[in-house]
Amino acid sequence: MHLLITGGAGFIGSNVAEMALASGHQVTIVDDLSTGYAENLVDMDVDFLQSSILELETLAKAMRGVDSVIHLAALGSVPRSIKNPVATHAANATGTLTVLEAARAAGVNHLLAASSSSVYGLNPALPKHEREWVRAMSPYAVTKMATEQYPLAYQQSYGMETLSFRFFNVFGPRQRAGHAYAAVIPTFIDSLLKGEPLWINGDGFNSRDFTYVGTVCRVLLDACERRISHPEPVNLAFGTNTNLLQLVTEIERTSGLAADVRHRDPRPGDVPHSQADNQSLRSLFPGVMPVTLEQGLQETLNWFKEIQ
């Protein structure tokens, strides 16, 4: 099978590429390296095109001979979207439409897209079911609504086989710290290993459904291999609920180090609590076995120690 991975030099994309190659698949990657890293692809036998997904000519070339597209390219981060909503819209909403149009023009009829649990926003329901109402709290969340809804519209309009996943706080190796928009787990681990304070935005009781990247990659690859499509978004998480104080405790236990925890004001646009209803995921992927938070943190900690 020939896979095209947009954003394939990024955290999730490079892990998917590695797993796909190990399974014997051919991989093409399009990534402009705005948030990805070329070193993530070292020793991977991929066809790498350094380009924005807004470049139709490059996408047309990348689509040749492709069986399935895994669309991960995006500008992540709620704070980044609040600072620059237009750039986030261009990359995430317009970028998704551009990828879909390139796939349609090339006759590539299967596409997976990465949406986000942030679309639930102000909806307080826990766990969050895909048919619950959504209410965005940030420009990023709005763009992720477009990212999931465009592929669903292409099912109805053009008969394309698509599947829009809502990711919930994916973590693991290759997710980097050290920049303004870093996710919480790499930020905490990096700070702990450097002997720096762990800053928590708010009281620490905000909770998340953390999902290990290896589990996410297995689901994505299985979806391509079996050409799974679905007429509604699908939560890609497993119903866990860990608040930030509990997360710190687990990272301390895994690392054997004591954290210097400090608090600051909450960030605008942050969803207070996130937990997935995973009935749809389980019905489509009954064999998936999620990696536990404990095991995932150990793998992530090992990776950070290797790159220090």
State the catalytic residues. 140
Looking at the DSSP bridge assignments, the partners of residue 128 are 276
End-to-end Cα distance, the chain: 36
- Side chain identity at 233, as an amino acid letter? P
Q: Which of 294, 224, 300, 174 is nearest to 25 (CA)?
A: 224
Q: What angle do CA 272, 246, 236 make, to 5 degrees?
A: 60
Q: How far is CA 217 from CA 18, 54, 159, 199, in A?
A: 9, 25, 25, 29
Cα dihedral 34, 227, 280, 79, rounded to 10, equals: 10
Q: Residues with Cβ < 8 Å from 12, sequence gap 6 or more? A: 72, 114, 167, 170, 213, 216, 217
Return d(Cα 187, Cα 192) in angstroms, integer: 9
